[in-house]
Structure 1
């Protein structure tokens, strides 16, 4: 699917980035779940308080309605006038000859719960036979008398204290109860604090800030922790990359990290010692083989010269030459790849010029050309790198007649392309030519070790040697060497 490559691009590669990403996801998930649970409990608690307040308000309404029902019909308007004159009552109450029609508010879960609670209490207190209407109305749409007067058209003392809560202007709960034929009791009131609003409560800003500060604190703490723990790993990786296998190599510093990092460092030191010991034993073994083989080969040559049969003598000499060639090739392979040098900055421009100077025009034959230059010194083994690049150039001149060198250099790696004008290498043999003593048909020069030695030296520096047949003919050999760390321009 097309989204998978995008996810790979967004996925961080460093340990610090991955830990921070996992921390962010974990914090968001944990805080989101806890906030959702907390908010649901808060809403349930507020809804319970709202319903209880609505029931208390409904009982007061039922008491007022019962009081008016107990009064003679002629006294009811007089009592209402006295209540309006007193002011400050909880309800605004009026008697109308019909139920007033008003535009009600859109119902919400909280308004439905209030209306249901008020209706249940009123019907329980006053009886189910009465017509009761309970709705929520906006203050701007509120109508108070038969004439349809608005709230702001009444005297301030009549309804200001009961129906306004500036500057909020919350919805008004309007209850209309039919007392008898042609007489409706109108009761308008506000819900008590803190339930004046019918909107669902959102996550408070203080809670949002708390979540943000908690997440930021965790990110900083995790970032510092991972950076503190990954610093020994980076030092260990850098030391392993710059590892020297000589007898005088300094062991890696394994202090300053966790127990796992210390254990890896100790294992790497042990591995370095084993490899160094193996190389030393191999060198000694081949030296012993060289000494042991050269003596009988020389003795055999002396005996062959005493043979009178020239044809038989020629066969023996040919076999001894091949045996001597094999011994020299094996010794040269060990000698060229087992180079014990200290790692130091190498001026690759100077190294290449030393290698190709005899071939440059006008003094030379002009068979070698060079484009580009190394911008920084390279940290490596000077003689090994010189032998590696020299083998590539010699191979191009030997089999391709000319060598065209192209340098590409940046802070990440040094690349040297060596192209020739020869017949190239069959595609199925591109990897075989790196094997010791392998030579293509018709190419019997040398020992067949040059490319293999060059690749081994490149591998020891963390690099690679690759082959590519050019479309116009010829072979391109590419040497790529990663840089250990940026240095000053050469």
Structure 2
């Protein structure tokens, strides 16, 4: 019993990757929220012990404590700065502060401050704006330090200047958490999207090169299954194209042989008029067979895709027409590198220029390069095509004049073959009548 090839572990699925990505992003966000909160708390709002502010306050308090009472107000005013204001008070009540409640914000540095003051019995009381009555305009940060003689030094500030406020700190933490979450999501999605991108590249390569190798089977289970199915389809198409080419080569030989016999037998017809009619029919049938076989076989479709100069190809094609006395105007500046099948592109442009020369006059071709695609416009000054027929002309064997005379327009396969080549390159071919008369055929070929 032959087992089917494995296409991936049962647990390696797109759903599993999405779930793991979401879970990892959430856990990482929670971890980094805690970590960044700790780091940002120390950095953006450091404790008093880490700011050096308490050392400064202790030094000022010692200086005032050592000075005579009459000099203390002047020393306190001199010690005031942009961060805080210093005031010497004989009594605590002179400060006009609310009743002492909770000085927890200063309690962590209370022992350190007493040691700096060299007075272990000094009273230290702190206030925050929240300790004041609601809507009190005088709410501020205040630190009261008792001196040895029972007087007080008041340090006051309207805002806390030894760190960031709550809103900036929270914004910093949120921004860092979002950034870390985005990084985790990008890493996971890139890991998931890489097999899809390689799958898409392989599919596009097969669209322009039937000899493209199979796509490597990798990625989650669903993607691997899709790649295996695509590779099987690609192999079947390649086998079909090979068989069709061989079959049409045999048909080509089988059809040409009886036509050759008909022409030889026509040589024995005595009536010149009937002989001429037979030869015309044989020649027309031969032309139709050759055109049909060329369209259906189209060996250029088996041509591998390669990088070539599209502008140089157009110059070569226009020079070929000029060599036979047909003047084709060309507008192409610079070098345009395109990855495709140069023989097929040249055949497509030749069909379009043949129509422009056959059905109009003043044939011209213009090449324009964009950021995502290259545009080729084939122009003429002929009768144009009625809008109702602009889709019909792409059907095989459709001719506007309704005749099968090879002298009036071939067998109606030129535009069909041209559009097939353009579509195989992932592009588009459209028609429109020019305002001043004539037809414009616009070809859009995307860059790979």
Give the TM-score normalised by the residue count of structure 1.
0.55
CA drift at 1:382: 1.6
Larger Rg: 1
CA drift at 1:170: 2.3
8 A Cα contact 1:245 1:340, kept in partner: no
Using the alignment, how far apart are the partners of 1:461 and 1:215 within structure 2? 42
Relative contact order (C-alpha < 8 Å, sep 6+): which is higher? 2
Structure 2 residue 437 is the aligned partner of structure 1 residue 437: no
Could you tell me which residue of structure 2 aligns to residue 249 of structure 1? 212
8 A Cα contact 1:297 1:320, kept in partner: yes
8 A Cα contact 1:348 1:374, kept in partner: no
Q: Secondary structure at the match of 2:190?
A: helix
8 A Cα contact 2:210 2:304, kept in partner: no
Could you tell me which residue of structure 2 aligns to residue 263 of structure 1? 225
Per-residue deviation, residues 175-230 of structure 1 (Å, max 9, x unmatched):
xxxxxxxxxxxxxxxxxxxxxxxxxxxx9987776655544333221111111111
Structure 2 residue 441 is the aligned partner of structure 1 residue 481: no
Structure 2 residue 381 is the aligned partner of structure 1 residue 415: no
Runs of at least 5 residues in structure 2 that lack an aligned partner in the other structure = 1-17, 31-90, 102-125, 135-165
8 A Cα contact 1:414 1:483, kept in partner: yes
Give the direction of change, closer, same or farther, for the CA distance of 1:159–1:453 in structure 2 (3 Å limit): closer
Q: Secondary structure at the match of 1:272?
A: helix
Give the direction of change, closer, same or farther, for the CA distance of 1:390–1:313 in structure 2 (3 Å limit): closer
Pick from 178, 184, 192 the counterpart of residue 221 of structure 1: 184
Q: Secondary structure at the match of 1:162?
A: coil
CA drift at 1:456: 0.9
RMSD: 3.7
CA drift at 1:302: 3.7
CA drift at 1:475: 0.3
CA drift at 1:483: 0.6
Pick from 99, 102, 109 the counterpart of residue 162 of structure 1: 99
Using the alignment, how far apart are the partners of 2:396 and 2:325 within structure 1? 31
Give the direction of change, closer, same or farther, for the CA distance of 1:403–1:223 in structure 2 (3 Å limit): same
Using the alignment, how far apart are the partners of 2:230 and 2:250 within structure 1? 30
Aligned residues: 308
Q: Secondary structure at the match of 1:236?
A: helix
Structure 2 residue 203 is the aligned partner of structure 1 residue 240: yes
Using the alignment, how far apart are the partners of 1:160 and 1:338 within structure 2? 95
Give the direction of change, closer, same or farther, for the CA distance of 1:309–1:364 in structure 2 (3 Å limit): closer
Could you tell me which residue of structure 2 aligns to residue 451 of structure 1? 415
8 A Cα contact 1:373 1:409, kept in partner: no
Structure 2 residue 260 is the aligned partner of structure 1 residue 323: no
Of residues 221-230 and 335-344 in structure 1, the stretch that sits farther from structure 2 once superposed is 335-344
Runs of at least 5 residues in structure 1 that lack an aligned partner in the other structure = 1-18, 32-153, 173-202, 485-490
TM alignment of 1:361-380, pairs within 5 A: 365=325, 367-373=327-333, 375-380=335-340
Q: Secondary structure at the match of 1:264?
A: helix
Per-residue deviation, residues 141-181 of structure 1 (Å, max 9, x unmatched):
xxxxxxxxxxxxx9928985637884525228xxxxxxxxx
Structure 2 residue 303 is the aligned partner of structure 1 residue 341: yes
Give the direction of change, closer, same or farther, for the CA distance of 1:229–1:374 in structure 2 (3 Å limit): farther
CA drift at 1:326: 2.9
Could you tell me which residue of structure 1 aligns to residue 294 of structure 2? 332
TM alignment of 1:99-114, pairs within 5 A: none
TM alignment of 1:157-196, pairs within 5 A: 162=99, 166-168=127-129, 170-171=132-133
CA drift at 1:316: 4.9
CA drift at 1:324: 3.0
Give the direction of change, closer, same or farther, for the CA distance of 1:481–1:374 in structure 2 (3 Å limit): farther
Using the alignment, how far apart are the partners of 1:303 and 1:364 within structure 2? 35
Using the alignment, how far apart are the partners of 1:323 and 1:158 within structure 2? 117
Could you tell me which residue of structure 2 aligns to residue 385 of structure 1? 345
Using the alignment, how far apart are the partners of 2:375 and 2:210 within structure 1? 30
Give the TM-score normalised by the residue count of structure 2.
0.59
Give the direction of change, closer, same or farther, for the CA distance of 1:317–1:369 in structure 2 (3 Å limit): closer
Give the direction of change, closer, same or farther, for the CA distance of 1:160–1:317 in structure 2 (3 Å limit): closer
8 A Cα contact 1:246 1:276, kept in partner: no
CA drift at 1:375: 3.8
Q: Secondary structure at the match of 2:99?
A: helix
8 A Cα contact 2:379 2:440, kept in partner: yes
Per-residue deviation, residues 126-148 of structure 1 (Å, max 9, x unmatched):
xxxxxxxxxxxxxxxxxxxxxxx
Structure 2 residue 312 is the aligned partner of structure 1 residue 350: yes
Could you tell me which residue of structure 2 aligns to residue 282 of structure 1? 244
